[in-house]
A = this chain, B = another copy of it.
């Protein structure tokens, strides 16, 4: 039985955020633990107010925001139209753990107080490798 997964989120695009979030919702319902490590651009998603502003990647400029808006509208029926609320719910249930990459924080000048309170810990790569050790599968969304 699947017990534990780990995800790396390394992009700030709407789709690279929603894929792991939606898988996490399902994992949570199946009582599978998920450790999500936000690094590089992915860290931006953990800043206050950022997740709901994420834009779709690989589209011409005016489309990026519109496509994200359209997706969010359609996601409503799955109970996931507001990424920040999904994050809040997942973090409060106990199975899903959000981690911020400490090196990226330094690189990008992001402080602990800039991050949403759902971030459980600020971690380095060594700690993340220990997480990988325990995980049945590690997926990268970068």
Q: In this assembly, does A122 line the interface, its C-beta being within 8 Å of a C-beta of chain B?
A: no
- A97 adjacent to chain B (CB < 8 Å): no
Chain A contact residue count (CB 8 A cutoff): 48
Q: How far is the CA of A11 from the CA of B26 in the complex (A)?
A: 21
Q: Which residue of B lies closest to A134 (CB)?
A: B2
**Which chain B residues border A133 with CB–CB below 8 Å?**
1-2, 136
Query: Does B138 lie within 8 Å of A103, measured CB to CB?
Result: no
Copies in the complex: 3
Which residues of chain A from 69 to 83 have any CB-CB distance to chain B below 8 Å in the complex? 71, 74-75, 77-78
Q: Is the CB of B142 within 8 A of A132?
A: no
Residue A137 at the chain B interface, CB threshold 8 Å: yes
Q: Does any Cβ of B come within 8 Å of A106's Cβ? A: yes
Interface residues of A (CB under 8 A from B): 1-2, 5, 8, 10-11, 13, 15-16, 18-19, 22-23, 25-27, 29-30, 32, 39-41, 57-58, 71, 74-75, 77-78, 103, 106-107, 124-126, 128-130, 132-133, 135-142
Task: In the A-B complex, list the 10 residue pairs whose CB atoms are closest, starting with the nearest.
Answer: A26-B125, A2-B133, A137-B138, A74-B107, A139-B140, A15-B40, A26-B126, A132-B137, A23-B125, A141-B142
Can you list 13 residue pairs at the A/B interface with Cβ under 8 Å? A2-B130, A2-B133, A10-B16, A22-B125, A23-B128, A26-B128, A29-B126, A57-B58, A71-B107, A78-B103, A135-B137, A140-B140, A140-B141
